[in-house]
């Protein structure tokens, strides 16, 4: 397996982290791999983002714009300090959330979603993944999973916000074209089936 950069996307509760961990374990049986989640824990911008999300602040226009800016700075830091060095050292990169999440979470309208996606597409510092795995999950299933978790609710883990975010993801998939494939996986499936499907897409032997 040559060096690859894979992204896993989806709403809160869709199972991204569980799938990323399962793929990481399988990949590292034979290859060098790093697993990353965004926002980062290392950069100043990533730490600020995490503090905001955990604070319970209600998202308004000002906060949305601030998060959008912070995510961009944190993402460029991540690319320069972790993703590119890993790829240059022939490591496989598994990334939990990329700029699609920024568009889906910060976009209040279709125009804002388009603006964010195009901003990243046109930025030479942003590198393209080899493919994206999008875990598709309905709002009721997502809310049930979120309720089962013990962690404090983040500002995006409310019904209206999740509905908007799901609609934004669907809009991106429906209207935007990328130079890499995006695969839609049914997040209702159990983790074994999801892992098998994802491994097949990424051509990882199980």
Q: In the chain, what are the domain boundaries?
A: 5-202
Distance CA 92, CA 73 (A): 23
- pLDDT over 60 at 129, yes or no: yes
pLDDT digits (tens, 9 = 90+) for 86-117: 999 999 999 999 999 999 999 999 999 999 99
Q: How far apart are CA 8 and CA 132, in angstroms?
A: 6
In CATH, what number does 5-202 get?
A: 3.40.50.300
pLDDT band at 56 (very low <50, low <70, confident <90, very high): confident
Q: What is the pLDDT at residue 13?
A: 85
Mean pLDDT of 167-193: 96
Chain segment 1-53, per-residue pLDDT in tens: 556 999 999 998 899 999 999 999 999 999 999 999 999 999 999 999 999 98
Distances (CA, A) of 33 to 17, 30, 115, 131: 15, 9, 32, 16
Per mean pLDDT, which range of 59-68, 167-176, 187-196 is the poorest? 59-68
User: Angle formed by the axes of helices 159-175 and 139-148, to 10°?
Assistant: 130
- Look at residue 152 in the predicted model and tell me its pLDDT: 55
Question: Which has the higher per-residue pLDDT, 72 or 158?
Answer: 72
Which of 53-57, 73-77, 82-86, 180-184 shows the lowest per-residue confidence on average (mean pLDDT)?
53-57
Euclidean distance between CA atoms 147 and 106, whole angstroms: 23
pLDDT of residue 2: 59
Question: Which tokens sit at 40?
Answer: 């980062």
């Amino acid at each position: 397996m040559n060096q690859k950069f894979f992204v896993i996307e989806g709403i809160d509760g869709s199972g991204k982290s569980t799938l990323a961990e399962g793929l990481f374990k399988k990949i590292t049986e034979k290859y060098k791999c790093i697993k990353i989640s965004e926002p980062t824990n290392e950069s100043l911008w990533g730490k600020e983002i995490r503090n905001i999300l955990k604070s319970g602040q209600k998202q308004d226009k000002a906060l949305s714009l601030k998060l959008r800016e912070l995510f961009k700075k944190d993402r460029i830091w991540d690319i320069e300090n972790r993703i590119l060095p890993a790829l240059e050292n022939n490591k496989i990169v598994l990334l939990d959330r990329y700029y699609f999440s920024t568009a889906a979470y910060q976009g209040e309208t279709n125009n804002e979603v388009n603006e964010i996606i195009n901003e990243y597409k046109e930025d030479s510092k942003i590198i393209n993944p080899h493919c994206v795995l999008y875990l598709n999950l309905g709002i009721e299933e997502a809310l049930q999973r979120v309720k089962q978790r013990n962690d404090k609710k983040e500002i995006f883990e409310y019904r209206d916000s999740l509905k908007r975010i799901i609609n934004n993801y669907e809009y991106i998939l429906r209207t935007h074209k990328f130079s890499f494939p995006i695969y839609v996986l049914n997040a209702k499936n159990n983790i074994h089936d999801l892992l098998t499907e994802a491994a097949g897409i990424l051509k990882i032997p199980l």
